[in-house]
Amino acid sequence: MMKKLNSLHTFSFLLLILGLSSCQNSNKEETEKQVQDSTASKKTVAASTEPHQYGGWYCPDNFGFVPVDIQKLKEVPVVADRLPTKEELKESKSLIDVDLMKYPDARVLKMDLPRVARVNAELLGMHELVIVIQAIVVQKDTVVGYRFVNGGNGSSRIGEVTFLSNEEVSALGSQPFYYNKTVYKASVKEIWNTIRKTDFFKQLGKKFNKQDFFAKEWDAQAHTNMSLDSKDEKAEGSIGMVFGNYYMQIDYNRNGFHYSEKLLMIENQDDKTTQVFFASGPFPKDYDKKKEEFDKWLEAVKKMSEGPY
């Protein structure tokens, strides 16, 4: 289920990665559980004084919310003028399902959505772009739910985001991301033992001085953090097994420009397949070139990992 944090300003990168639990596909699981809980509840209950926990979700690995170019907001589904239905939550049209039994006074904050905003990424000393798709008022708190432009979702109190004007969004120009989701007929171990031999992983190992980690054979217990602080670039990352899924995320601050790389592998041991998600960007320039490079890389990894091992 979604990991809930009190504030996006209080965590370290490692804590975030370890706190992912099973964000992937969490909307469906969370919704189904809440439907069962609501059915089992009495039809009328007194308003609860229990503090709500709706602000502070961080699920960057939930690719039910795919990367989005901020110039293509018309492609982003939202439910802005009312609370969402269960079906709309499942379809990623909204994010937060408020328990009206506990918080009967909860309501939407009517505003023009979706909207581009920034949330503070304190560790990198910059503000990360997000697309706000929901705004609700609970216990006099206003909470926003958003999708990260590089995939995944999160939520925070409204004071923790800064909305961009239409002029500011236009000035940023197109921000396309590379995104690929493919099912491999291979295990995570087989994929790792292929991908570690590629130039992409060799370059990561060299960049972060982690050559031994990126070159060694599969070890489900292996985990490493990555950090870089140079004149023109800062970066923080982590890679390893997280609650049964293999996940890598690296965030770069390149003189104020936020670039990221995410890799998620979810293995299905029943049919011996693995879903592989990869997102990278944005690429305001040379997107087609980068897409071609990543396509070739992933096609080669798939072919080699599925072949004789």
**pLDDT tens readout for residues 107-116:** 999 899 999 9
CA angle 47, 51, 52 (to 5 degrees): 90
What mean pLDDT value characterizes the chain? 84
Q: 3-state DSSP helix/strand/coil percent for the chain, to nearest 5?
A: 25, 30, 40
Q: What class does CATH assign to 178-306?
A: alpha beta
- The pLDDT value given to residue 122: 63
254 HSE (CA, 13 A, CB side): 10
Give CA–CA dist 29/137, Å, rounded.
24
Give CA–CA dist 276/139, Å, rounded.
40
pLDDT confidence bin for 239, thresholds 50/70/90: very high
Which pLDDT tens digit goes with each residue over 174-204? Answer: 999 999 999 999 999 999 999 999 999 999 9
Give CA–CA dist 264/237, Å, rounded.
14
Letter string b/e over residues 257-292, b meaning 16 or more CB atoms within 10 A of that residue's CB = ebbbbbbbbbbeeeeebbbbbbbbbbbeeebeebbe
**Six token digits for residue 74:** 């018309």
Rounded to two decimals, what is the model's pTM? 0.83
At residue 159, the 3 state secondary structure works out as: helix
Residue of higher predicted confidence among 34 and 282: 282
Ranges 12-21, 99-108, 132-141, 263-272: which has the least confidence: 12-21
Give CA–CA dist 182/298, Å, rounded.
9
pLDDT confidence bin for 240, thresholds 50/70/90: very high
In this predicted structure, the answer to whether residue 17 has a pLDDT above a threshold of 50 is: no
CA angle 81, 84, 86 (to 5 degrees): 165
Give CATH 3.30.530 domain extents, the chain. Answer: 178-306
162 HSE (CA, 13 A, CB side): 10
Q: Is the dihedral of CA 108, 138, 59, 237 positive or negative?
A: positive
Ranges 45-49, 53-57, 130-134, 301-305: which has the least confidence: 45-49
At residue 190, the 3 state secondary structure works out as: helix
